[in-house]
C-alpha cells in the first residue's frame, strides 16, 4: 500500500516523480504529493485524489528541482484530506518525509513529542516519524549527510511497526535518505543519478540496474553514488540486480485497462510458468527452485498452503489439484491468521506461501512464523527479488511479468499452473506411472492454446455482462476444484463493480443459500462435464424452479445446460486438473465487462490497493 518515488541527479526531478507515481497509482490513490529541494528550500505540492489532481495543482503552482521525493497514499491513519497527504514535515519545516507502512506505537510517541513542545497538523503516524527524525537532527553536532543518516537511524530505533521511507532536508542539499522494514524499497542506479521507489515499475523507464534493500537497511543517496548501512549502525553489503522487463511491459498498450491486457496475456503467462519445467523423458516436472531432492519430497506427509485474497483462492484450488495427483494431504490457511493460530504442524510438513508481489505483509509474517517453528517454507511469487523470494527456503517463480491491475488475473492462473506442476512432480514420486506422467505433460502443453480459445469467448461474455450489469446481488457456485473458482469469480465482481457477490459449493444450495434466490438474483454455476456434472444439473434445476436466472459455464459440445439455463458459456474440454484455469477466465471477463458497463474505474477500484504491505 502507498507508493514512494524519489530522485536525485542533474535532471528536473518532477517529470520523473510524476511518471513514477502514475506507475505506482495501483498501490494507493487517496492523495498524492511531492517535495522538491532547490536553492536551499523545499517546495511541497499536495492534492487529494489521483495523480492527475496533483499534476493539475502543480500546473497552477509550478515547482522544480533536481532532488525530490513523492508519494501516492492509501489511507491508514487519518482521513483522506490534504493535511494527511504526504510528504510530512518536522517542526522546523525544513525536513520532509514520505512513508509506506504503519508505525504501531505512534500514539505513544506523539504524546511524548507533544510534551516536548511539538505541534502536529495531521492525524497520520507518518508525521510523528518526521518529527522524530527532525528532533534527532536538531540535536546533532553537525548538519551534514552523516548527521541526517544518524537522525533517521535514531528515529527508527524508537518505532515499532513497518516502514519504507524517503527523507530530504533543506540543510543537507544533495542527499536523500531511505530506509525499509517490512515495506519494499528499491534503489535505482543511473549515470550520475539515483532513484528510490516502492516498486521497480516506477523507475524501469530510467534504469534497469537496481538494489533491493533488505529490512533494517538505510541508504544515503547522492547524485554520484550511494552508501548502505543498517539501523543498528553496521555496514551492509548489496547486490546489483538487472530488471528483466522494460518500460513497455508496464504500459497498457492497445488495451483500455491493465486488467483486460493482463487477461489477454494469460496464454503467454501460463506458457511461461511451464517453460523449461516439463521433462517428457522423465515424465515429470522439474522444479529446481524448491531446493529439495526427490527423497526429501517423498518424506513430506502434509502440505500447508497460505495466502490472502486471490492467492488464498489459488491455494484452495491447489489443494484439490495436488491431493488428486499426489495423494498428499493438503491444508489451506489464511496467511493473515497463520501466526495468530497455534496450528499443530507435524514434523514432515512442507509449507508454501503464495503472493504475487512477494511483499504481502500477512503472507510474509506467515513465512517467518512457519520458519520460526522449524518448517521448511517455500514461496510462490512473481517477483524474484521480493522479500518472500529472498527469505523463503526455496520456491517457484511465476514468470508472469508485471501485474498492474488491482484485480489479480494472470497471477491467479499462473499460480494454478504451478500447483499443477507440483501435483505432477509429487505424484510421479509416489504413484503416477511414467505413461500417466507423459499423458499429463501432453495435456499441459495444450494449455496455452486452450486459454487462448477461452479468451475468444470475450464478446459473448461481454453481452451477458451487459444483460446482468444492473443486478444488485450475484451468486457463484461450483463443486470440488470449481468451488474456489466460484469464490474467485465473486471476489472479482465485488472488487471492481462493487456488486454484492458470494461464492458457495453448489451442494450447499439447499443448506440456506437457496433463501437468496429471486428473479433478480443471477446464479452463476461452474458446471463442466466432470464427475459431478449431474449433481450440478440438479442444483441448477432447483434454482430455475424458483425463477432464478442462471448463467452456466460448461464444456464445449454440451447440450444439457442450454436446455435449462438462461445463458451458457462453453469452455474447451480439459482434464480436471486444468479445467479450473479455463473456467476462471470467463469470470474475469464477466467482472471486467460489468464494471465497464457500470462506469467503474476498473484498474483503481475504490478503497483497494494492489500490494497489501501493511497488516
Model-level pTM? Answer: 0.83
Q: Apex CA 469: angle with CA 464 and CA 474, to 5°?
A: 90
C-alpha cell of 163? 516502514
Catalytic option among 410, 492, 604, 610: 610
At residue 570, does pLDDT exceed 90? yes
Residue 607's CB is within 10 A of a number of other CB atoms, namely: 9
**Model confidence over 424-470: pLDDT tens digits?**
999 999 999 999 999 999 999 999 999 999 999 999 999 999 999 99
Average pLDDT value over all residues in the chain: 93
At residue 567, does pLDDT exceed 80? yes
142: CB partners within 8 A, 6+ apart? none
**Model confidence over 200-243: pLDDT tens digits?**
889 998 999 999 999 999 999 999 999 999 999 888 888 888 88
Read off the pLDDT of each residue in 71-83 and give the average, rounded to a whole number: 86
Handedness of CA 607, 608, 613, 615 (dihedral sign): positive
Four-point Cα dihedral 540, 545, 548, 552, nearest 10: 20
Residues belonging to the chain: 615
For residues 319 and 330, the answer to whether their CB atoms sit within 8 Å is: yes
Nearest C-alpha neighbor of 2 from the set 610, 615, 411: 610
Active site annotation includes 565: no
Active site annotation includes 252: no
Note the pLDDT of residue 235: 82
Note the pLDDT of residue 108: 95
Four-point Cα dihedral 233, 239, 244, 246, nearest 10: 60
pLDDT-derived band of residue 26, with 50, 70 and 90 as boundaries? confident
At residue 249, does pLDDT exceed 80? no
At residue 77, does pLDDT exceed 80? no
- Cα 338 to Cα 261: distance, rounded to the nearest angstrom: 34
Note the pLDDT of residue 46: 95
Read off the pLDDT of each residue in 524-531 and give the average, rounded to a whole number: 93
At residue 615, does pLDDT exceed 60? no
At residue 541, does pLDDT exceed 80? yes
The Cα-based distances of 16 to 1, 54, 226, 244, 522 in angstroms read: 20, 14, 19, 21, 47
For residues 462 and 589, the answer to whether their CB atoms sit within 8 Å is: yes
C-alpha cell of 473? 446481488
The Cα-based distances of 263 to 205, 398, 522 in angstroms read: 24, 16, 24
C-alpha cell of 555? 464444456
For residues 560 and 545, the answer to whether their CB atoms sit within 8 Å is: no
Note the pLDDT of residue 52: 92
Note the pLDDT of residue 286: 96
CATH architecture of 3-250: 4-Layer Sandwich (3.60)
- Strands 67-73 vs 349-355: parallel, antiparallel or unpaired: unpaired
Note the pLDDT of residue 141: 72
pLDDT-derived band of residue 280, with 50, 70 and 90 as boundaries? very high
3-250 against 252-445: fold identical? no
CATH 3.40.50.10490 fits 456-604, yes or no: yes
Task: Show me where the domains of the chain are located.
Answer: 3-250, 252-445, 456-604
When mean pLDDT is compared across 38-42, 299-303, 407-411, the lowest value belongs to 38-42
pLDDT-derived band of residue 610, with 50, 70 and 90 as boundaries? low
At residue 300, does pLDDT exceed 80? yes
More confident of the two residues 422 and 345 = 422
More confident of the two residues 605 and 377 = 377
DSSP 202-244: GTTTT-SEEEEPPTTEEEEEETTEEEEEETTS-B-----EE-S
More confident of the two residues 76 and 176 = 176
At residue 247, does pLDDT exceed 70? no
Note the pLDDT of residue 475: 96
Note the pLDDT of residue 614: 56
CATH architecture of 252-445: 3-Layer(aba) Sandwich (3.40)
Q: At what angle do helices 51-60 and 13-23 cross, to 10 degrees?
A: 160
More confident of the two residues 48 and 234 = 48
Note the pLDDT of residue 613: 55
- Cα 508 to Cα 478: distance, rounded to the nearest angstrom: 10
Q: For cell 496475456, what's the residue?
A: 265
- Cα 469 to Cα 506: distance, rounded to the nearest angstrom: 23
Nearest C-alpha neighbor of 386 from the set 415, 409, 356, 365: 356
Read off the pLDDT of each residue in 593-614 and give the average, rounded to a whole number: 83
Read off the pLDDT of each residue in 402-419 and give the average, rounded to a whole number: 95
Read off the pLDDT of each residue in 398-416 and give the average, rounded to a whole number: 94
- Local structure of 473: helix, strand or coil: strand
- Cα 495 to Cα 487: distance, rounded to the nearest angstrom: 12
pLDDT-derived band of residue 244, with 50, 70 and 90 as boundaries? confident
For residues 89 and 32, the answer to whether their CB atoms sit within 8 Å is: no
At residue 331, does pLDDT exceed 70? yes
Residue 234's CB is within 10 A of a number of other CB atoms, namely: 8
Phi, psi of 409 (to 5 degrees): -130, -70
Terminal CA-CA length for the chain = 10
Amino acid at each position: 500500500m502507498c507508493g514512494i518515488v524519489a530522485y536525485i541527479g542533474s535532471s528536473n526531478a518532477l517529470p520523473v516523480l510524476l511518471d513514477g507515481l502514475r506507475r505506482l497509482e495501483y498501490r494507493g490513490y487517496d492523495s498524492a504529493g511531492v517535495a522538491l529541494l532547490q536553492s536551499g528550500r523545499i517546495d511541497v505540492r499536495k492534492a487529494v485524489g489521483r495523480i492527475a489532481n496533483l499534476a493539475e495543482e502543480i500546473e497552477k503552482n509550478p515547482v522544480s528541482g533536481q532532488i525530490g521525493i513523492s508519494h501516492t497514499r492509501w489511507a491508514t491513519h487519518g482521513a483522506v484530506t490534504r493535511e494527511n497527504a504526504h510528504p510530512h514535515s518536522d517542526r522546523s519545516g525544513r525536513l520532509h518525509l514520505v512513508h509506506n507502512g504503519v508505525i504501531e506505537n505512534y500514539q505513544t510517541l506523539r504524546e511524548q513529542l507533544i510534551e516536548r513542545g511539538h505541534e502536529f497538523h495531521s492525524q497520520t503516524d507518518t508525521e510523528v516519524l518526521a518529527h522524530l527524525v527532525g528532533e534527532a537532527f536538531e540535536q546533532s553536532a553537525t548538519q551534514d549527510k552523516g548527521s541526517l543518516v544518524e537522525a533517521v537511524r535514531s528515529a527508527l530505533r524508537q518505532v515499532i511497526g513497518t516502514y519504507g521511507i524517503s527523507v530530504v532536508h533543506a540543510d543537507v542539499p544533495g542527499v536523500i535518505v531511505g530506509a525499509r522494514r517490512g515495506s519494499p524499497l528499491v534503489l535505482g542506479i543511473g549515470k550520475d543519478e539515483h532513484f528510490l521507489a516502492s516498486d521497480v515499475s516506477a523507475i524501469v523507464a530510467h534504469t534497469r540496474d537496481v538494489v533491493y534493500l533488505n529490512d533494517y537497511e538505510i541508504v544515503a543517496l547522492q547524485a554520484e553514488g550511494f552508501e548502505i548501512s543498517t539501523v543498528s549502525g553496521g555496514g551492509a553489503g548489496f547486490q546489483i540486480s538487472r530488471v528483466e522487463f522494460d518500460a513497455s511491459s508496464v504500459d497498457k498498450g492497445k488495451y483500455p485497462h491493465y486488467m483486460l491486457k493482463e487477461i489477454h496475456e494469460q496464454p503467454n503467462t501460463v506458457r511461461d510458468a511451464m517453460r523449461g519445467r516439463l521433462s517428457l523423458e522423465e515424465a515429470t516436472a522439474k522444479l529446481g527452485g524448491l531446493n529439495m531432492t526427490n527423497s526429501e519430497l517423498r518424506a513430506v506427509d502434509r502440505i500447508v498452503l497460505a495466502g490472502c485474497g486471490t492467492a488464498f483462492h489459488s491455494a484452495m484450488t491447489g489443494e484439490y489439484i495436488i491431493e488428486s495427483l499426489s495423494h498428499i494431504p493438503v491444508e489451506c490457511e489464511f496467511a493473515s491468521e497463520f501466526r495468530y493460530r497455534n496450528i499443530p504442524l507435524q514434523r514432515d510438513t512442507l509449507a508454501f506461501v503464495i503472493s504475487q508481489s512477494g511483499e504481502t505483509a500477512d503472507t510474509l509474517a506467515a513465512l517467518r512464523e512457519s520458519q520460526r517453528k522449524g518448517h521448511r517454507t517455500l514461496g510462490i511469487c512473481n517477483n524474484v527479488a521480493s522479500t518472500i523470494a529472498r527469505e523463503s527456503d526455496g520456491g517457484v517463480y511465476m514468470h508472469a511479468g508485471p501485474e498492474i491491475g488491482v484485480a489479480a488475473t494472470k497471477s491467479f492462473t499462473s499460480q494454478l499452473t504451478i500447483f499443477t506442476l507440483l501435483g505432477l512432480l509429487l505424484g510421479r514420486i509416489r504413484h503416477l506411472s511414467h505413461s500417466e506422467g507423459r499423458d499429463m505433460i501432453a495435456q499441459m502443453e495444450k494449455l496455452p492454446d486452450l486459454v487462448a480459445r477461452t479468451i475468444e469467448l470475450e464478446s459473448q461474455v461481454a453481452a451477458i455482462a451487459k444483460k446482468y450489469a444492473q443486478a444488485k446481488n450475484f451468486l457463484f457456485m461450483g463443486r470440488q476444484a470449481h468451488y474456489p473458482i466460484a469464490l474467485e469469480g465473486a471476489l472479482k465482481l465485488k472488487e471492481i463493480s462493487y456488486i454484492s457477490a458470494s461464492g458457495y459449493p453448489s451442494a450447499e444450495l439447499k443448506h440456506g443459500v437457496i433463501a437468496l434466490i429471486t428473479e433478480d438474483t443471477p446464479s452463476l454455476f461452474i458446471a463442466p462435464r466432470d464427475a459431478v456434472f449431474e449433481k450440478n444439473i440438479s442444483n441448477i434445476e432447483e434454482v430455475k424452479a424458483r425463477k432464478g436466472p442462471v448463467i452456466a459455464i460448461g464444456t464445449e459440445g454440451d447440450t444439457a445446460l442450454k436446455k435449462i439455463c438462461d445463458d451458457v458459456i462453453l469452455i474447451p474440454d480439459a482434464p480436471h486438473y486444468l479445467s479450473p484455469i479455463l473456467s476462471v477466465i470467463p469470470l474475469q471477463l464477466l467482472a471486467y465487462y460489468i464494471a465497464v458497463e457500470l462506469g467503474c474505474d476498473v484498474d483503481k477500484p475504490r478503497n483497494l490497493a494492489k500490494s497489501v504491505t501493511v497488516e
